[in-house]
Each structure stands twice: as structure tokens, then as C-alpha cells.
Amino acid sequence: MSSYCTLDTYTRVYFLYNKAITMSKTYYKPEDLKKFSKITDLQEELGTKFFDWYGSVFKPGALTAREKALIALAVSHAVQCPYCIDAYTDSCMKKGADEEQMMEAVHVAAAIKGGAVLVHGVQMMNEMEDKLM
């Protein structure tokens, strides 16, 4: 906290910021997920190829459809896609995944994401070592 700004000022700024956030519209609209298929409207060939491939990926193979949905849910969290989170939460539930399995998948994603951040610390350590030598 800076010396020229009182706690009272911070409280007012915090309140105004939160009020503005709660009053504003969200950037992502859940109803937009239903418009996903319209990506073919502006580029039919590539959009169709994408949806054909996407559909094939989620067919049961070496992994069950439920396992693929759990993976997709975890990845959705890692890439922070609200549309994907909504879609794959629903998909997991419809395919029989329970709350514990779904949350465990989210924790797996969080662990990988956190590990990826931390392992880049090696890059920092290497750079520091080069600079100090």
C-alpha cells in the first residue's frame, strides 16, 4: 500500500471495481456455444473438415467415450475455455462420470499446468547461471 493512499481509498476502489464487474455483461455468452456449428458459414470446406475430424476423435477407440470426455474436461480447464468447460461437464455427466472423477480430472490439468510453469524455472536458473559466470 502506498503512503499517499489510505486504506479507505483502497476500499472504495475495491468496491467500485467489484460493482462494475457485477453490473457488466460477461464476455462469454453460454448461448454462443450453440452457434459453434456456424463456423462453416464463412469457410465451409475447412469447417466441415474440422467437424468431421472432431467427431472422429471422440468416437470410442482405445479410450472409451467417457474417458475422452474426462480428458476433454481437463484440457478445457487447462486452456480456460468456458464453452468447452460447459460442454464437457455436460458430456461427462451424460457419459456416467461422477463428481469426484470430474474434479480429479481438473486437478490433473491443474497439476500439469502448474508443473509447466515451475519447470520453466529451470530456464530461469540456466539464464542466471550464464549471467553469473
pLDDT at site 29: 85
Between 80 and 25, the higher pLDDT residue: 80
For residue 78, how many other CB atoms are within 10 A of its CB? Answer: 16
* Domains by residue range for the chain, with CATH: 48-133 (1.20.1290.10)
User: 3-class DSSP state for residue 96?
Assistant: coil
pLDDT class of 11 with cuts at 50, 70, 90: very low
Asked whether the predicted pLDDT for residue 127 surpasses 60, the reply is yes
Burial of 33 (0-12, 13-18, 19+ CB in 10 A): middle
- DSSP letter at 98 equals -
pLDDT digits (tens, 9 = 90+) for 21-39: 444 567 788 888 889 999 9
| Predicted pLDDT at 66 | 98
Identify which has the larger pLDDT, 18 or 120. 120
Give 68 or 28, the one with higher predicted confidence.
68
Q: What is the mean pLDDT of residues 85-96?
A: 97
Distances (CA, A) of 12 to 2, 15, 33: 15, 5, 37
Per-residue pLDDT at 133: 86
More confident residue, 52 or 18: 52
